[in-house]
Amino acid sequence: MNILITGVGGMMGSHLADFLVERGDHVVGFDFVPTTDIKELNLKVDYVECDIRDREKVKNLLQKTRPEIIFHLAAQSYPNVSWNRPHYTIETNVIGTINLFEAVKELKLDPIILNACTSGMYGYVEEKNVPVKESHELKPLHPYGVSKVAQELLAYQYYKNFGIKSISVRIFNTTGPKKVNDVCSDFTKQIVLMEKGLQEPKLKCGNLETRRAITDVRDLIEALWLAVKKCDPGEAYNLSGERVYKILDIVELLRKLTNVEFEIFQDPKLVRTTDEPIIYGDSTKFKEKTNWQQKIELKQTVKDMLDYWRNRL
């Protein structure tokens, strides 16, 4: 199949490209500010540098590729960055989405679009409402979450008004090799720096009591493929891990996977005032459509992330 990935230089995009190439699909991917080393991208991917905010370049690229499936992953996806750069976040995530859907409309293409959204759209969820369902109100706590609410509603409007088939997936905490700027990535990188004598044996951390349901990126990629094959256009689906971990649980898991003896140092700079105490979604709707199940346990995920940093650093 002819498939386009926006944001192919991100952690999810890179793993998705590997998955699709192994299937034998023709994959075109574009990115502008990749968060992974683009040199690690599968050589069989036709890579193009493109800023999704550039309307004409996006349209020209779609005209050349005419994809049957589009995985729309391109985004400014960090909540903290969205406070520092709210204009850039909205332009990338909202205007970028408009550019993509307008190009599909103007060129009269008929792809299935996987619209990558986020659990950050829900904002603060009281524990009595966890695991949170798709019907829960959307009250995001940062510009990034607001931008993703807008992105999902835009996708819905283009489907209802112009028949552009899109499926929105609200992705909960996902990690794995190549991930940067999340707890598992930061912790595993610090541990490897300690192993190599490049950091004193103190693990810098934020709030250790928050709880997160975590999915391995490779399980997520399988889920995204099932979504475009089995889910209903115009619908939104939660995609969350099944088991909730306290951040302290991840620290203790790391102790078992390294020979380094380290202390814990809680850095005030890493403690967020609006940090949600628990993030955990109800994926029943998605599982009933796809029969998707998690396969990779967190211990294996973290081990693979340690090995990734050992090879990189």
Q: What does the CA dihedral 2, 172, 83, 211 come to, rounded to 10 degrees?
A: -160
Q: Do 96 and 76 form a contact (C-beta atoms < 8 A)?
A: no
Strand 211-213 and strand 244-246: pairing? antiparallel
Residue 192 near residue 310 (C-beta atoms within 8 A): yes
Q: Check residue 269 and give its pLDDT.
A: 82
| Residue 139 phi, psi (nearest 5) | -135, 75
Q: What is the pLDDT of residue 199?
A: 97
Sign of CA dihedral 176, 179, 180, 181: negative
Q: What is the largest CA-CA distance in the chain?
A: 60
Do 205 and 265 touch, CB atoms closer than 8 A?
Answer: yes
Q: How far is CA 188 from CA 10, 92, 154, in A?
A: 18, 29, 37
Q: What number of residues does the chain have?
A: 313
Tell me the chain's radius of gyration from C-alpha atoms: 19
Among 94, 80, 215, CA closest to 141: 80
Which H, E and C letters describe 198-209, residue by residue?
CCCCEEEECCCC
Give the burial string for 152-170 (b: 16+ CB within 10 Å, else e).
bebbbebbeeeebbbbbbb
pLDDT by 10s per residue, the chain, length 313: 999 999 999 999 999 999 999 999 999 999 999 999 999 999 999 999 999 999 999 999 999 999 999 999 999 999 989 999 999 999 999 999 999 999 999 999 999 999 999 999 999 999 999 999 999 999 999 999 999 999 999 999 999 999 999 999 999 999 999 999 999 999 999 999 999 999 999 999 999 999 999 999 999 999 999 999 999 999 999 999 999 999 999 999 999 999 999 999 998 888 776 678 899 999 999 999 999 999 999 999 999 999 999 999 9
Query: Are the CB atoms for 154 and 259 separated by under 8 Å?
Result: no
Give this prediction's pTM.
Answer: 0.95
Query: 98 near 157, Cβ under 8 Å?
Result: no
> What pLDDT score was predicted for residue 153?
98
Task: For residue 100, give the nearest of 125, 75, 80 by alpha carbon.
Answer: 75
Residue 196: how many CA atoms within 13 Å on its side-chain side? 14
Reduce the DSSP state of residue 72 to 3 states and report it.
strand
Those residues with Cβ within 8 angstroms of residue 297's Cβ, 6 or more apart along the chain or in another chain: none
Produce one character per residue of 50-73: b if its CB has 16 or more CB atoms within 10 Å, e if not: bbbbebebbbebbeebebbbbbbb
The answer to whether 280 and 211 are in contact (CB under 8 A) is yes
DSSP class per residue in 225-275: HHHHHHSPTT-EEEE--SSEEEHHHHHHHHHHH-S---EEEE-GGG--TT-
Six-digit token string for 125: 């969820």
- Per the CB < 8 A criterion, the answer to whether 274 and 80 are in contact is no
User: What DSSP element (H or E) covers 54?
Assistant: none
C-alpha distances out from residue 128 to 132, 133, 159, 203, 280, Å:
9, 12, 33, 32, 12
